[in-house]
Structure 1
Amino acid sequence: MTQAIELNDLILAIYDTTVDPSGWPKVLDRIARYIGARGAFVFELQGLGKERRIHAPFFSSVYNQDLVDGYLAAHNAQELIDQDVFARLSRPTDQIQLITDDALANTEEELLARANVRTMLEYGIRYRAGALLNKDQVNQDRFALQFSASAGPLSKAHFERAALLMPHIAKALNISRPTKQLADQFRSVADCIDMLVIGVCILDATGRIVHSNHEFRRQLESYPVFRKDPAGRLVMNAPGSSGALAELRGDLSNHGRFGARPRKEAIVSLVDDKPHTLCVEVAPLTSANEFGEPSLNGHIVYSMDTGSFYEINGDLLASMFQLTQAEASVLEMMAEGLTNLQISERRAKSVETVNSQVKSILVKTRSANRTQLIRLATNISSSFILERSHQNG
């Protein structure tokens, strides 16, 4: 297998986790081998203050679950300090930077004297590197690589190979958050896909729809954005959108272009020339076993109706992006699907004031438009699963 084919196969395997999160351990094994590392992790930081904890939802299958849990419990405080250093050194850009562990201490002797490093040495791990895969919410999607003494220190080749993969890992984790919520709560994603408030559509290699959930079918019927052509293929009607969809269904290089802010890859589709939009995201999908498609070689499409109601945590978002209390309130109303005029009426403020507040929110959250903003806000603090009381409504 040539290196190019190996890389393409690995990237496709990364995107297959969007419908099957259980595949991450083996995918991380492959990622580590490709880069030349011993293993790889995806971390999350949970809780606040003294309750902050490091959680590892996914890691290479070469690691033992009990040992990982024991290590994180024993060295949580130092690991939090190290993770804060990795985050601080990651520049505020869309690009993903891999930070090596020599940044964690003033000298090598000081680093090797740490209790957590001594424990890792017992397991054969000498070098580490970390990266922020999500710079919108730095507590999620942190990536880590571990290297043996013989494989390190990290070389230019290590960095180059990691750079080829990390944007795709970031995108896969970002867009799969709805299906991961299902996987965390239910045995089968396929059986519960209609519970998502996000539209999901699976396409085969020709672009033909082979599966879609209730929300996607609702959007198909309600808005002139999508349609099925006579062959059953998904087509977008909005000007420019068909080309954007075709581009994302094309070469793998069209994915992962926005690094640690993958939401910017979304296709924004106006509905009847009004600011009400659908946020459409696409990823390759070679297989979808749960949906009866073991050899799909197609794509998965996520479509979010930004005019629907989404309950978000305004206080959390305000603290993350330094929003004023008024801006946080406006953002919560935007997530309800209200227009600027409707927000001005509810808040008894002028439309000009609301327009100004919305512009300020967009700047602070590094969002290019309203749709990106709602995608960001919901991805951080919203549930994508319908409440049981609404499932039969």
Structure 2
Amino acid sequence: MQNELRDLTLKVYDAVANQGLWSSVLDQLVEQVGAQGSIVFEWVEEGGNPKLTAPIHSGFYSSDILDVYLSKCEHLEARDQAIIQRHTTDHDDIELLDDTLLAESVEELKQQEHVRKLMKLGIFHRAAGVMNKDNRSISLFSLQLNAERDQLEGKERHLLSHLLPHLAKALDLGIPMRQLQKRYQGVLSALDRLTIGVCILGARGMVVARNQEFQRQQETYRTFRVSQNGQLRITDNRGQKCLDALMADLSQHGKFGARPRKENITSHALDALCIEVSPIHRSDEMGSEVFDGFLLCSTDTTLPVVCDTHRVQQAFQLTAAETSLVNAIGQGLTNPEIADRRGRSVATINAQTKSILAKSHCANRTQFVRMMMRFGASFLTRE
């Protein structure tokens, strides 16, 4: 089982750069826990109104069937998700909650319209968990169970407790890649279209490929250097130790559950950059052989970020004064610069910024800007 779990975990991370793998990944997950199907839901804006979508799902479902189901039962799914979210705690752990929360009794649950539709597909019990506690409108994981079986058992939950944090990280890191794949057929061949820096590393940290934004960051900040033997190195010892740990041990990944951004490589010298690493076991774009390398993503948080400020305010219960600072922080302005523009004291802006960071569970401004990007930011350069 340990080997199977490791293989599936590696496949989860392969889906970061190859979004077409997600169906296969969820099929394997479903099989391991004896489920019937699995869906990752996401709310998107369509014509100014929120719409529930299912961009990632196991092979048990077709996209057409899910579209029809959601067109008829979106309001019921929305109600269920609201209940799940109310029972989800604010800490970083991922909680997989049973459908017993959705009705007073099993008989009452069976009478619900969407449950009756699912029962016609041979499904009854469900379990769901929030994969991103920063923006709870994205990456809601749902597992559907065969109508002939009971809810998840202890050993199945134990397996999922190891796997879901990796799933959450892969879903989060895959957002820029998903945007890229919608426009371009090959992800790795179109990396220069991304506004974030991307560097592909071999098993020993050798640079295989890097996009233009990564090269710009390398020249601007001198945070990275390439050794004579072609290895990427982080110039700060603390940052290099973090990178070495992530490259040496798969268990070092997925340690922050539903807030994977906290896993970014930290260093005293990396104030402007948010650096994250994901394993790549196999990639069709890298050839048919096992690659066993890494995908390094580096976000320059001094560059302007445009996001949905209203959703950020709602997500973290920011005051009007705090919300007014969100865009300024996203523009890369320092606290003294913000104070000067707004005619406020630096002490006032410092206090408001500190409050924003506390409410959003961010250690610093770099993490906050990185978090903002999950609220509707585009990761693609203009044509």
Q: Is this a same-fold pair by TM over 0.5?
A: yes
1:329 to 316, 319, 324: 324
2:284 to 289, 314, 322: 289
Q: Size of the alignment, in residue pairs?
A: 383
Paired residues of 1:269 and 1:278 also in contact (CA < 8 A): no
Q: Determine the structure 1 residue equivalent to 2:381.
A: 386
1:18 match: secondary structure: helix
Tell me how large the CA RMSD over aligned residues is. Answer: 1.8
Paired residues of 1:198 and 1:384 also in contact (CA < 8 A): yes
Q: Determine the structure 1 residue equivalent to 2:274.
A: 279
* Residue 310 (1) aligns with residue 310 (2): no
Paired residues of 2:180 and 2:380 also in contact (CA < 8 A): yes
Paired residues of 2:201 and 2:295 also in contact (CA < 8 A): yes
CA deviation vs aligned residue, 1:90-145 (integer Å, no higher than 9, x gap):
11111111111111100111001112111111111121100000111111000010
Aligned-residue offset at 1:294: 4.6
Q: Determine the structure 1 residue equivalent to 2:6.
A: 8
2:237 match: secondary structure: coil
Superposition map of 1:335-354 within 5 A = 335-354=330-349
Aligned mates of 1:294, 1:361 — CA distance in 2: 46
Q: How much identity, in percent, do the aligned residues show?
A: 38
Paired residues of 2:242 and 2:266 also in contact (CA < 8 A): no
Aligned mates of 1:223, 1:294 — CA distance in 2: 35
Aligned-residue offset at 1:160: 1.1
Paired residues of 2:38 and 2:144 also in contact (CA < 8 A): yes
Note the residue ranges of structure 2 that are not aligned, 5 or more in a row: none
Aligned mates of 1:199, 1:244 — CA distance in 2: 18
Q: Determine the structure 1 residue equivalent to 2:18.
A: 20
CA deviation vs aligned residue, 1:31-52 (integer Å, no higher than 9, x gap):
1111221111111123499944
Aligned mates of 1:175, 1:286 — CA distance in 2: 16
Aligned mates of 1:234, 1:154 — CA distance in 2: 44
1:364 to 345, 355, 359: 359
Q: Determine the structure 2 residue equivalent to 1:228.
A: 226
How has the CA–CA distance of structure 1 residues 50 and 243 changed in structure 2, closer, same or farther, with 3 Å as cutoff? closer
Q: Determine the structure 1 residue equivalent to 2:71.
A: 73
Aligned-residue offset at 1:217: 1.0
Aligned-residue offset at 1:191: 3.3
Aligned mates of 2:376, 2:120 — CA distance in 1: 39
Q: Determine the structure 2 residue equivalent to 1:30.
A: 28
Superposition map of 1:132-147 within 5 A = 132-147=130-145
How has the CA–CA distance of structure 1 residues 341 and 291 changed in structure 2, closer, same or farther, with 3 Å as cutoff? farther
Paired residues of 1:43 and 1:141 also in contact (CA < 8 A): yes
Aligned mates of 1:231, 1:103 — CA distance in 2: 57
Aligned-residue offset at 1:21: 0.7
Amino acid at match of 1:15: Y
Paired residues of 1:36 and 1:151 also in contact (CA < 8 A): no
2:254 match: secondary structure: coil
* Residue 203 (1) aligns with residue 198 (2): no
Paired residues of 1:225 and 1:269 also in contact (CA < 8 A): no
Amino acid at match of 1:27: V
1:96 match: secondary structure: coil
Paired residues of 1:42 and 1:59 also in contact (CA < 8 A): yes
Q: TM-score, normalising length from structure 2?
A: 0.96
Aligned-residue offset at 1:269: 3.7
1:91 match: secondary structure: coil
Aligned mates of 1:152, 1:133 — CA distance in 2: 24
Q: TM-score, normalising length from structure 1?
A: 0.93
CA deviation vs aligned residue, 1:182-210 (integer Å, no higher than 9, x gap):
11222222332101110011111111010
Aligned-residue offset at 1:270: 4.0
1:267 match: secondary structure: coil
Amino acid at match of 2:197: G
Paired residues of 2:238 and 2:266 also in contact (CA < 8 A): no
Q: Determine the structure 2 residue equivalent to 1:391.
A: none
Amino acid at match of 2:13: Y
Aligned-residue offset at 1:293: 7.0
CA deviation vs aligned residue, 1:329-388 (integer Å, no higher than 9, x gap):
222111111111221222222211111111011011111111110110112231111122
Aligned-residue offset at 1:291: 4.5
* Residue 301 (1) aligns with residue 296 (2): yes
Aligned-residue offset at 1:155: 1.2
Q: Determine the structure 1 residue equivalent to 2:265.
A: 267
Aligned mates of 2:379, 2:58 — CA distance in 1: 27
How has the CA–CA distance of structure 1 residues 37 and 264 changed in structure 2, closer, same or farther, with 3 Å as cutoff? same
Aligned mates of 1:285, 1:384 — CA distance in 2: 21
Moved more, 319-328 or 194-203: 319-328
CA deviation vs aligned residue, 1:77-101 (integer Å, no higher than 9, x gap):
1111111111111111111111111
